[in-house]
Chains A and B, each alone.
Chain A
Amino acid sequence: GAGQDVGRSCILVSIAGKNVMLDCGMHMGYNDDRRFPDFSYITQNGRLTDFLDCVIISHFHLDHCGALPYFSEMVGYDGPIYMTHPTKAICPILLEDYRKITVDKKGETNFFTSQMIKDCMKKVVAVHLHQTVQVDEELEIKAYYAGHVLGAAMFQIKVGCESVVYTGDYNMTPDRHLGAAWIDKCRPDLLISESTYATTIRDSKRCRERDFLKKVHETVERGGKVLIPVFALGRAQELCILLETFWERMNLKAPIYFSTGLTEKANHYYKLFITWTNQKIRKTFVQRNMFEFKHIKAFDRAFADNPGPMVVFATPGMLHAGQSLQIFRKWAGNEKNMVIMPGYCVQGTVGHKILSGQRKLEMEGRQMLEVKMQVEYMSFSAHADAKGIMQLIRQAEPRNVLLVHGEAKKMEFLKQKIEQEFHVSCFMPANGETTTILTNPCIPVDISLGLLKRETAIGPLPDAKKPKLMHGTLLMKDNSFRLVSPEQALKELGLAEHQLRFTCRVHIQDPRKEHETVLRVYNHLKGILKDYSVQHLPDGSITVESILIQATAHSEDQGTKVLLVSWTYQDEELGSYLTSLLKKGLPQSTP
């Protein structure tokens, strides 16, 4: 899922023989089988558990975790599922809510049950930020902060020296309750990034916030009521914080309410996971937990008829049903009131209608509702925009980029940009498509300390930036590689050492006596090879380091002397140099 598409995020990564599934989401747009990813892709026969090494859930949005109970309980997967602590805490609430709506309201059968959600959550392993978790001996994962929603994380998956970073959804600009996504220069082989806003560069959030606050403030001062339809999690908390601090700053007295139920529960978790929030909340937490709202109280249905100004956060966000719609109907008639839509509305909902300027709505029962209240639209979205995506790529320095979670046309643009700016290849596979990325795996080899020290002692100082040539024996044994000194290798393998010697005869025309020739050769070599120890041995031979040179007169022709050059395999370089040198002949005789 999520290939050139938004929703139903589910990506399968095979890395160095390990299979990892990233996210397991549902699609909002479908109500049939298409709402869940097609798990038969993974394996046709055989259990999923055998095929998958682990499942990673980036955050608690349903398009990233909605299919999890179905996948683990109904399809059957018993392996580990990784997610962060806040995600683990909030995820079951949302799943349960989703289940309720589908089963209880829409009356669907063949859906996962509450028990299944519970069972599924038992398989979850919670991870901390920047904690490296060893899934098995080779596979390790590490979570990075991603902003977006509470507990959202980016995951680095690493096997040996190959690595993949999966961003999930992330946000590069901090907001009122969460910080910005951050990753170190981990240089993964592949970065899988979302690209919801691939073609958008957003304005400063401050303007948006200011507009929002100003509108609310003005309405409240006029004595009007403000309705803010929100979804339970994420933006609702941001707006709560925003209003709460504003109320505090401006000393306002009008009450703020949020609808009970889901939001209340979620707020509880927000209070607990302070470490996942932004700098301001973390710093002031000692004095006061920002989520312990002073001005924001739980809403009761009866409050809607209270006189005087008030601000109400109500679910759901698109005004299509539930509490927000009820309140909307009550307040719509008064032009002093205002409704602020903080997010996108699907076509066909009341929210969409009023945003497109409709002033008369037909409600159920042929009732006509005249909308006199002001309608405002404010976009608060927590995805990285094009600049943010580029910034993340710059931070992580990947070798390849793969775009998911976005529309194909927009991806195309971003892809082109990425290739142009960073000169890395960029992919954007569709659903069901497999992209193969070639990596340059490096194979770590153990080296014995003695050898390392010996080898580094030769030549100039070690420089980490430059590769260095070393002599040694590569032992491949028990699926591991070791570099050892030849002696040790021989010992371990139980082999006797063989000496390999090269000998070479060089003919020189020299009529003189043997020992004179030797002397000439000696002087010649001594003159050329200044850095080496050239010795003239008493038995009439010459040694250059360990290379032996002997001269004998040719048996047939006394004028030709035969120089016997002999060297071991280790001295190959010098030996061959010497022979070529001698072959050129001696310099014209010097008396």
Chain B
Amino acid sequence: MAAHLKKRVYEEFTKVVQQQHEDLSSKKLRLTKPSKSAALHVDLCKATSPADALQYLLQFARKPVEVESVEGVVRILLEHYYKENDASVRLKIASLLGLLSKTAGFSPDCIMDDAINTLQNEKSHQVLAQLLDTLLVIGTKLPENPSVRMRLVEVACKHLTDSSHGVRNKCLQLIGCLGPVEKGAAKEAESQAAKDVQKIIGDHFHDQDPRVRTAAIKAMLQLHERGLKLQQAIYSRACKLLADDYEQVRSAAVQLIWVLSQLYPESIVPIPSSNEEIRLVDDAFGKICHMVSDGSWVVRVQAAKLLGSMQQVSSHFLEQTLDKKLMSDLRRKRTAHERAKELYSSGEFSSGRKWGDDAPKEEIDTGAVNLIESGACGAFVHGLEDEMYEVRIAAVEALCMLAQSSPSFAEKCLDFLVDMFNDEIEEVRLQSIHTMRKISNNITLREDQLDTVLAVLEDSSRDIREALHELLCCTNVSTKEGIHLALVELLKNLTKYPTDRESIWKCLKFLGSRHPTLVLPLVPELLSTHPFFDTPEPDMDDPAYIAVLVLIFNAAKSCPTMPALFSDHTFRHYAYLRDSLSHLVPPLRLPGRKLVSSAVSPSITPHEDPSQQFLQQSLERVYNFQHLDPQGIQELLEFTIRDLQRLGELQSELAGMADFTATYLQCQLLLIKALQEKLWNVAAPLYLKQNALASAAAKQILEETYKMEFMYSGVESRQVVIIHHMRLQAKALQLIVTARTTRGVEPLFGMCEKFLQEVDSFQRCFISELPHMQGSFVDKLLDLMPRLVTSKPSEVVKILQTTLRQSTFLHLPLPEQLHRATANIIEPTGESDNPLRFTSGLVVALDVDATLEHVQDPQGTVKVQVLYPDGQAQVIHPKPADFRNPGPGRHRLITQVYLSHTAWTEPCQIEVRLLLAYNSNRSKASTRLPKSTWSESLEALPPSENGIEGTIPFSKPVKVYIMPKPARR
């Protein structure tokens, strides 16, 4: 029976069968082929007017054409093409030809000659352009046929003299895409026919039509992309194009210049007006900088973006971009930045400005002032002040890239970046904060700059504040006043926006550990200790006080003299915080305090090694338990699980690993318990209790295996096999339990069939892994497969039971990195006693804010679940835009959940939690197919496997108090 079954499965779903299918259909096609093209032929002949013909063609274009019949259709179309007088119909035919030659599997070289022939007699420019487009398609379909390409290029060259811009456009495009790239290969052909593609294209740089000019530059860029080395001679011509009247031309020219500057950075070009010469990259840089003040914003954006990637430019030029000489009435004036710097260096800070403080100082020589410099002067100053925020963002990005490669430039651009923190558009502010973070390794903030940076902490946008916290995490501050200032502002922020608590603590943690020496002199003040008097003990639950302590403890980590300044309660608080906020408070060596020193950590030496070892050891112990008695095994497992869980809590780096193994062992433990022999031998009436236990165990194992498979990132196929294996065992257990409880054989047939199918698919999916599974359940099962498929359900069950019991426990190899997906709902906090009141029948929006860690593709998997007190559950799919990605592996969900219910008499709590949705064939376990082949794999899989979808709750539920009021009439 099962054999038959298996065969059927194969027949229906395997590739072999599909092949047959194809054969069949192709046979059919051969039959219908003439009829299909004939139908078109008839249609076209029937058409009385061009409009009719066009209609037929349009209809025809909607239907796909099989590979085999393409050629026939093409012939008919061509035939009709020659007869047709109306240009619009010919145009449609030409475009159809292009479409048809795109058909996968069809080799268009057979229709190329015809297409080229049609070109010769064509009068309409539009049709010509379309035909060239078709040729382009044909050419790109035949990449490894140089002679065809040569021919096409030749054709294109011939039509370059056409009077219509559309035709010339297409010709250039064709040459750009198909022109010969490598010099050596077809030297002869090249020299005679398509002499020098670059020269041909270059000639069209001065075409009268701007569209053709653009196309020429684009074609040149296309050639470059395909690997042709552009000649340096083009540079001077491209420079002239920068002054073109049309923005597309300028935009393309900027790109071309950039390409050339990357190709020939070191060659020397003369400066037109003088005898001097400079490096090409510098010259190009100057030219592109000039374009930052172009009239069209599209060009400005383009120029600003490209500036960022010109890293070979010499520092002299680079620094000019930030230079803008101020003057007032012909006298030199200092910029506000310079003044701020001076104030700072003279030791005076934050003086109120008087009128005339910025009064111009020295006279400047009128001749020396260059108002419109040809060089790079002030490009970024202009870019950052641009009207369009797109340009500003591009400028900030470019600034970032350049600053990353040049520390001195980073130092210089700091003032400008800090200024951008006050931009009117939030995106720009955010971008500049991110930029600052990226270059923060190269810079140290001056106090006045820090002041401006910190002022942004009061921003009402959470994104901005959090970006700023991230920035502060990795900034260098120069003075202790700076640290103090930062702390004060952060505390201010904390009181204003209490929800920022976590982020502020984290920020202070890094701030402290980066500047231990600067924090040291501040300690007495921060802890408000007094040399003679005892001060009152601060409130331990005050977030602000915790913030201060986090700063101090992290600084104390590398500053051994600091603990001497602590008072008694500080040590107590340390112990408390070390336990409750272990991720923020580092282990400290505290002299003479036995309270802390011994218990947790005797040293600051790296911890990973011993705990890693511990993990390995405990696992090995478990895997070698075969010789133990069942009782012993159970105990050992229980202990190990407990150890692992504790380890996970203590060592955050190993948490994923420990949890993962603990879960696995838990499954094993459950399985062992469920299979305990003595319980199975009891008489039938007592099954009940036994069944309840076993089926519960099976159910739990199933759940746990799904968790293992989908909640951890970094799971490799080796683990997936074992997880699936465990699941298979659970299913076997389920089968056994049901077999023993249900009467009659009929339902069992179906179940057995299903189970065997699963075994089968398991075998197919993991065929490569099977050799590693010696002695396992599935290994034995597969040995018995021939027997199983022929035997009755009752026998199957029996076999299963014995195999289950005899099978060995599989060793779970651990991957390098394993992280458990976690979610933490920050908002709603669930602490409010005030119910959210709303009129029943209407909706109320609940803001949900959660952090997700190690979730792959959260947009697709994370859902919000709302549980109402009446048991009603609602699953909400957040919009993709609600997810932000603040860092690798971390996501943030900020969304609104709409609640509604009928009227209640009194307020009640609802539960909000996050779910992780999974779909068993999405990960298609073993194979881990890349996304692109996803649809194919779907087809290849038996439908029985598609079904398993489900959700795993992976956050703590949060209770929200709501109260739908009855509507008032």
The residue that B387 contacts in the complex, of A174, A203, A213, A464, with Cβ under 8 A, is A174
CB contacts (< 8 Å) of A176 on chain B: these are: 424
The answer to whether B329 touches A180 (Cβ under 8 A) is: no
- A205 on the B face (CB < 8 A): yes
- A449 on the B face (CB < 8 A): no
CB contacts (< 8 Å) of A21 on chain B: these are: none
- A377 on the B face (CB < 8 A): yes
The answer to whether A201 touches B325 (Cβ under 8 A) is: yes
- A278 on the B face (CB < 8 A): yes
CB contacts (< 8 Å) of A185 on chain B: these are: 245, 295
Distance between Cα atoms of A208 and B335 in the complex (Å): 11
Which partner residue on chain B sits nearest A379 by CB separation? B358
Surface stretch bound by B, among A28-36, A69-77, A389-397 = A389-397
CB contacts (< 8 Å) of A217 on chain B: these are: 455
CB contacts (< 8 Å) of B245 on chain A: these are: 185
CB contacts (< 8 Å) of A209 on chain B: these are: 422
- B496 on the A face (CB < 8 A): yes
- A254 on the B face (CB < 8 A): no
The residue that B458 contacts in the complex, of A211, A250, A279, A463, with Cβ under 8 A, is A250
Which partner residue on chain B sits nearest A185 by CB separation? B245
- B696 on the A face (CB < 8 A): no
Which partner residue on chain A sits nearest B429 by CB separation? A249
Which partner residue on chain A sits nearest B331 by CB separation? A199
CB contacts (< 8 Å) of A465 on chain B: these are: 206, 208
- A459 on the B face (CB < 8 A): no
> Given contacts A180-B387, A207-B337, is CB(A387)–CB(B327) below 8 Å?
no
What 0/1 pattern do residues 363 to 383 of B give for CB contact below 8 A with A? 000100101100000100100
B195 to chain A minimum Cβ distance, whole angstroms, is 19
The answer to whether A280 touches B385 (Cβ under 8 A) is: no
B692 to chain A minimum Cβ distance, whole angstroms, is 58
What 0/1 pattern do residues 306 to 331 of A give for CB contact below 8 A with B? 00000000000000000000000000
The residue that A203 contacts in the complex, of B335, B455, B459, with Cβ under 8 A, is B335
> Given contacts A207-B336, A417-B371, is CB(A249)–CB(B460) below 8 Å?
yes
- A499 on the B face (CB < 8 A): no
- B293 on the A face (CB < 8 A): yes
- A531 on the B face (CB < 8 A): no
The answer to whether B327 touches A421 (Cβ under 8 A) is: no
The answer to whether A200 touches B327 (Cβ under 8 A) is: yes
- B918 on the A face (CB < 8 A): no
- B355 on the A face (CB < 8 A): yes
Distance between Cα atoms of A535 and B325 in the complex (Å): 77
- B157 on the A face (CB < 8 A): no
- B352 on the A face (CB < 8 A): yes
CB contacts (< 8 Å) of B423 on chain A: these are: 206
The residue that B372 contacts in the complex, of A199, A279, A377, A390, with Cβ under 8 A, is A390
CB contacts (< 8 Å) of B161 on chain A: these are: 461
The answer to whether B385 touches A205 (Cβ under 8 A) is: yes
B298 to chain A minimum Cβ distance, whole angstroms, is 13
The answer to whether A374 touches B352 (Cβ under 8 A) is: yes
The residue that A207 contacts in the complex, of B163, B355, B419, with Cβ under 8 A, is B419
CB contacts (< 8 Å) of B356 on chain A: these are: 377
The answer to whether A250 touches B460 (Cβ under 8 A) is: yes
The answer to whether A206 touches B419 (Cβ under 8 A) is: yes
- B353 on the A face (CB < 8 A): yes
The answer to whether B352 touches A387 (Cβ under 8 A) is: no
B875 to chain A minimum Cβ distance, whole angstroms, is 30
CB contacts (< 8 Å) of B385 on chain A: these are: 173-174, 204-206
The answer to whether A394 touches B387 (Cβ under 8 A) is: no
What 0/1 pattern do residues 151 to 185 of B give for CB contact below 8 A with A? 00000000001010000000000000000000000
Distance between Cα atoms of A413 and B370 in the complex (Å): 12
CB contacts (< 8 Å) of B384 on chain A: these are: 204, 206
The answer to whether A376 touches B372 (Cβ under 8 A) is: no
CB contacts (< 8 Å) of A390 on chain B: these are: 371-372
**Total chain A interface residues with beta-carbon distance under 8 A:** 58
List A186-237 residues whose CB lies under 8 Å from chain B. 199-211, 213-215, 217
A-B contact count (CB 8 A): 124
CB contacts (< 8 Å) of A213 on chain B: these are: 422
The residue that B460 contacts in the complex, of A200, A248, A377, A461, with Cβ under 8 A, is A248
The answer to whether B336 touches A208 (Cβ under 8 A) is: yes
The answer to whether B355 touches A421 (Cβ under 8 A) is: no
Distance between Cα atoms of A356 and B366 in the complex (Å): 29
> Given contacts A185-B245, A201-B324, is CB(A421)–CB(B329) below 8 Å?
no
Distance between Cα atoms of A109 and B245 in the complex (Å): 55
The residue that B354 contacts in the complex, of A207, A357, A421, with Cβ under 8 A, is A357
CB contacts (< 8 Å) of B354 on chain A: these are: 357, 377
The answer to whether B330 touches A206 (Cβ under 8 A) is: no
The answer to whether A199 touches B208 (Cβ under 8 A) is: no
Secondary structure call for the B interface? loop
- A408 on the B face (CB < 8 A): no
The answer to whether A413 touches B366 (Cβ under 8 A) is: yes
B324 to chain A minimum Cβ distance, whole angstroms, is 7
- A251 on the B face (CB < 8 A): yes
A351 to chain B minimum Cβ distance, whole angstroms, is 10
- B817 on the A face (CB < 8 A): no
What 0/1 pattern do residues 610 to 648 of B give for CB contact below 8 A with A? 000000000000000000000000000000000000000
B604 to chain A minimum Cβ distance, whole angstroms, is 41
> Given contacts A199-B327, A377-B355, is CB(A249)–CB(B387) below 8 Å?
no
- B845 on the A face (CB < 8 A): no
What 0/1 pattern do residues 356 to 396 of A give for CB contact below 8 A with B? 11000000000000000011110000000011001100110
The answer to whether A202 touches B371 (Cβ under 8 A) is: no
> Given contacts A208-B336, A213-B422, is CB(A199)–CB(B329) below 8 Å?
yes
The residue that A199 contacts in the complex, of B293, B328, B461, B496, with Cβ under 8 A, is B328
The answer to whether B295 touches A182 (Cβ under 8 A) is: yes
Distance between Cα atoms of A387 and B163 in the complex (Å): 43
B376 to chain A minimum Cβ distance, whole angstroms, is 14
List B563-600 residues whose CB lies under 8 Å from chain A. none
Distance between Cα atoms of A201 and B325 in the complex (Å): 7
- A15 on the B face (CB < 8 A): no
The answer to whether B459 touches A249 (Cβ under 8 A) is: yes
> Given contacts A207-B337, A387-B372, A394-B372, is CB(A201)–CB(B387) below 8 Å?
no
What 0/1 pattern do residues 48 to 77 of A give for CB contact below 8 A with B? 000000000000000000000000000000
What 0/1 pattern do residues 424 to 447 of B give for CB contact below 8 A with A? 110000000000000000000000
The answer to whether A413 touches B330 (Cβ under 8 A) is: yes
Distance between Cα atoms of A376 and B325 in the complex (Å): 25
The answer to whether B455 touches A463 (Cβ under 8 A) is: no
The answer to whether B387 touches A356 (Cβ under 8 A) is: no
The answer to whether B329 touches A200 (Cβ under 8 A) is: yes
Distance between Cα atoms of A377 and B354 in the complex (Å): 7
What 0/1 pattern do residues 416 to 448 of A give for CB contact below 8 A with B? 110001000000000000000000000000000
Distance between Cα atoms of A22 and B324 in the complex (Å): 34
The answer to whether B352 touches A417 (Cβ under 8 A) is: no
Distance between Cα atoms of A374 and B354 in the complex (Å): 9
> Given contacts A174-B386, A461-B161, A465-B208, is CB(A210)–CB(B355) below 8 Å?
no
- A184 on the B face (CB < 8 A): yes
Distance between Cα atoms of A341 and B161 in the complex (Å): 66
- A89 on the B face (CB < 8 A): no
Which partner residue on chain B sits nearest A463 by CB separation? B208
- A355 on the B face (CB < 8 A): yes
- A245 on the B face (CB < 8 A): yes
Sampled A-B contacts (19; CB under 8 Å): A183-B295, A199-B329, A203-B336, A205-B385, A206-B423, A207-B335, A207-B337, A210-B452, A249-B460, A249-B461, A250-B460, A251-B458, A278-B387, A280-B389, A357-B355, A377-B355, A413-B330, A417-B369, A465-B206
Q: List chain B positions with a Cβ less than 8 A from chain A.
A: 161, 163, 206, 208, 245, 293, 295, 324-330, 333, 335-337, 352-356, 366, 369, 371-372, 378, 381, 384-389, 416, 419-420, 422-425, 452, 455, 458-461, 496
A-B pairs, top 3 by smallest CB distance, nearest first, are A207-B336, A464-B208, A174-B387
* Contacts A206-B420, A248-B460, A279-B389 supplied; 6 other A-B pairs, CB < 8 Å: A201-B326, A203-B336, A204-B416, A206-B384, A213-B422, A462-B208
